[in-house]
Structure 1
Amino acid sequence: MKLVEYLAPLSRGNQQSRILATMYFLEATTGTSKFTTGAIRDALAEARTANLKQWNLSARLGSAGHYVHAEGTGVGRTWELTSTGRSAVAAFAPPLPAESPSVAKQSEAAALRTQVAAISDVEARAFASEAVDCLDVGAHRAAIVFMWVAAVHEIQERVWATSTPAAITAAAQSHNPKAKQAKKRDDLSEYNEALLLQVAQDLGVLDKNQHTELKKALDLRNGAGHPNKLRPGEHKAKAHIEEIIQMLF
């Protein structure tokens, strides 16, 4: 179903009701919940809404009360329906179109990208973004590997930022006497990832439960990154990405 079809039964409704219905439709079909007035206007224009140039979307949304929530200011200001707003729209608008598998997948990818965009470290965010790109095209093994690289980078950063080189070296050599002395940040790359996880736990960067779950993630990464018969599915790859984001970011 297209927006023009969805809004047709509301053609005699007031501007505010059609604006809210448009947001309701877009939220359900795009996986995005926050919209600028420009994005809403573009959708209404594509739906061939009559006399749209005369509509003051900001005023109509501003008078919608507790049906909407606004964030930001100026042209970057976004609007989203509240739970009350969704219930109100559902009461007067047509039923939403059934969600297709492709739309559901787009919604999941959009949600992941929103989480990835919130990662503050540029390098970790880039690796995590590549993981989602891989997931999006069905490259599940690659998605697992790239997300693990993001995790390792983040753990290395935390270990180096919160500990001294002497403490890091002592923790590493308590598990492997031959471990390299940590003199600079890049020396952490010389530690195998199982040792890095153990050092991070010893230094308080990770707690016991995080260490346990990240060890499982490392095992999955090892399976995905080496020639074998492992064929991880979409659900496993997506869960791997989500769990690492929740634990570390």
Structure 2
Amino acid sequence: MKLVEYLAPLKGSTQQARILATMYFLERTAGERQFTTGHLRNSMAEARINVRSWNFTARLSAAGHAVHAQGKGVARTWELTDSGREAVEAFAPPLPVAAAAVARRSEAAALRVRIAAIVDVEARDFASEAVDCLEIGAHRAAIVFMWVAAAHEIQERIWKASTPAAITAAAQSHNPRAKTCKKRDDLSEYNEELLLQIAQDQGVIDKNQKAELTKALGLRNSSGHPNKLRPGEHRAKAHIEDIISMLF
């Protein structure tokens, strides 16, 4: 599919909608993620859209949380956020399966580059499995595997930064019945909400990280138990990216 074909059904849509759809198409079919207004203008002109009088910067600036901007002036780049992608998917025609597959492979490859930098072998292996699941559309499994990588990393940080006695004291200050920690594997006996609290108490994560990781844990819990939750690709990908950014 060519851009001119993709935009044809959107002929009556707003300028902003067609610009966002162009970003989505180029991201999903060519693996591009950041765009200058000049690049978008040229791409749409090649698709025979008359954009000579369009103010791309104004339209993108008015798009709110659908886009994220970096830089200033002519070097400024724009990219779709997860909210922006979801918005385009709601009004634009679906892409052919082949094009979507190309995009997934491109996104997975970018994530694998980041995962390759994870030092801990076990955490790296769990994160790699998460991306494997994401690439084939197993979104709930991707969320669960990425959380396992996060939990392992947090356990490692706690064990290296503290002592069994201090860990036990922190655990039992929140749950008097918590198990006495004597060895590294005992950390696996603590439920993960308590593990996050211990991590904050021991200074290996801060308050904001704990809040975001608690949200990630909630998504893992929902994804790992029988229910009607069907997390989409963007939600699973954001979960992986957020944990990589926070912990690795």
Same fold (TM over 0.5): yes
Q: 2:153 maps to what in 1?
A: 154
Distance in 2 separating the partners of 1:30 and 1:246 = 21
- SS of residue in 1 equivalent to 2:227: coil
Partner deviation per Cα, 1:92-114 (whole Å, 9 max, x = no partner): xxxxxxx9433222211110011
* Equivalences for residues 22-33 of structure 1 within 5 A: none
Distance in 1 separating the partners of 2:99 and 2:229 = 29
Structure of greater Rg? 1
Give the count of matched residue pairs: 157
**1:30 Cα deviation after fit:** 7.3
Distance in 2 separating the partners of 1:145 and 1:206 = 21
Q: 1:193 maps to what in 2?
A: 192
Distance in 2 separating the partners of 1:165 and 1:134 = 35
Is 2:217 the partner of 1:228?
no
- Paired residues of 2:172 and 2:178 also in contact (CA < 8 A): yes
Q: One-letter code of the match for 2:178?
A: A
Q: 2:116 maps to what in 1?
A: 117
- Paired residues of 2:31 and 2:107 also in contact (CA < 8 A): no
Distance in 2 separating the partners of 1:140 and 1:30 = 20
Q: 2:236 maps to what in 1?
A: 237
**1:186 Cα deviation after fit:** 0.2
Distance in 1 separating the partners of 2:119 and 2:206 = 21
* Equivalences for residues 76-95 of structure 1 within 5 A: none
- SS of residue in 2 equivalent to 1:231: coil
Task: Please give the TM-score of this superposition, normalised by the length of structure 2.
Answer: 0.61
RMSD between aligned alpha carbons?
A: 1.9
* Equivalences for residues 65-104 of structure 1 within 5 A: 100-104=99-103
Distance in 2 separating the partners of 1:163 and 1:201 = 12
Distance in 2 separating the partners of 1:221 and 1:187 = 22
**1:138 Cα deviation after fit:** 0.4
Partner deviation per Cα, 1:126-155 (whole Å, 9 max, x = no partner): 000000000000000000000000000000
Task: Please give the TM-score of this superposition, normalised by the length of structure 1.
Answer: 0.60
Q: One-letter code of the match for 1:183?
A: K
Q: 1:179 maps to what in 2?
A: 178
Q: 1:107 maps to what in 2?
A: 106
Distance in 2 separating the partners of 1:245 and 1:103 = 23
Partner deviation per Cα, 1:193-245 (whole Å, 9 max, x = no partner): 00000000001011000000000000000000000111100000000000000
Partner deviation per Cα, 1:59-93 (whole Å, 9 max, x = no partner): xxxxxxxxxxxxxxxxxxxxxxxxxxxxxxxxxxx
Q: One-letter code of the match for 1:213?
A: E
Q: One-letter code of the match for 2:206?
A: D
Residue identity (%): 76
Q: 1:144 maps to what in 2?
A: 143
Distance in 2 separating the partners of 1:200 and 1:223 = 23
Q: One-letter code of the match for 1:242?
A: E
Q: One-letter code of the match for 1:226?
A: H
Q: 1:246 maps to what in 2?
A: 245
Distance in 1 separating the partners of 2:136 and 2:232 = 12
Q: One-letter code of the match for 2:196?
A: L
